[in-house]
Chain A
Amino acid sequence: MDFLSAHAPDQLPGNRALPPVEGAVQAPHGTTIVAIAFSGGVVLAGDRRATMGNVIAQRDIEKVFPADEFSAVGIAGTAGLATEMVKLFQLELEHFEKVEGSTLSLEGKANRLSTMIRSNLGMALQGLAVVPLFAGYDVERRKGRIFSYDVTGGRSEELGFAGVGSGSVFARGSLKKLYREDLSEQQAATVVIQALYDAADDDSATGGPDMTRRIYPVVSVITEDGYRRLGEEEVSELARAVYEGRLQLPNGPQAPVS
Chain B
Amino acid sequence: MSTPFYVSPQQAMADRAEYARKGIARGRSVVVLQYADGIVFVAENPSRALHKVSEIYDRIAFAAVGKYNEFENLRIGGVRYADLRGYTYDREDVTARGLANVYAQTLGTIFSANSEKPYEVELIVAEVGAAPEDDQIYRLPHDGSIVDEHGSVAVGGNSDPIGSYMDQRHREGMSLGEALRLGAEALGRDSNGSERTLTAEQLEVAVLDRTRPQKRKFKRVPAAQVTRLLEEGSSSSGSSSGSSSAASGAEDTSGEGTGEDGES
Q: Which residues of A contact B (CB under 8 A)?
A: 68-70, 87-88, 91, 94-95, 97-99, 101-103, 139, 224-226
Contacts and interface: CB of A to CB of B under 8 A. Distances in A.
A212 B129 CA distance: 39
Contacts of B259: 69
Contacts of A94: 83
B25 interface: no
Contacts of B264: 101-103
A206 B78 CA distance: 43
B150 to A, nearest CB: 27
Nearest to B58: A94
CB-based closest 3 A-B pairs: A102-B264, A69-B260, A225-B257
Interface stretch (B48-56, B101-109, B115-123, B242-250): B48-56
Interface residues of B, number: 18
A139 B261 contact: yes
A97 B76 CA distance: 11
B60 to A, nearest CB: 11
Interface string B25-60: 000000000000000000000000101001110000
B260 A103 contact: yes
A103 B261 contact: yes
A100 B196 CA distance: 33
Contacts of A226: 256-257, 260
A224 to B, nearest CB: 7
Contact of A91 (B51, B55, B87): B87
Contacts, number: 41
Contacts of B80: 95, 99
A98 B260 contact: no
Contacts of B76: 99
B79 interface: yes
Contacts of B83: 91, 94-95, 98
Contact of A98 (B49, B79, B261): B79
Given A139-B261, A225-B256, A226-B257, A98 B56 contact: yes
B263 interface: yes
A224 B257 contact: yes
Contact of B263 (A87, A88, A95, A101): A101
B87 A99 contact: no
Contacts of B257: 224-226
Nearest to A227: B214
Most buried by A among B49, B83, B259: B83
A18 to B, nearest CB: 24
Contacts of A102: 263-264
16 contacts: A68-B260, A69-B259, A69-B260, A87-B87, A91-B87, A98-B79, A99-B80, A101-B263, A101-B264, A102-B264, A103-B264, A224-B257, A225-B256, A225-B257, A226-B257, A226-B260
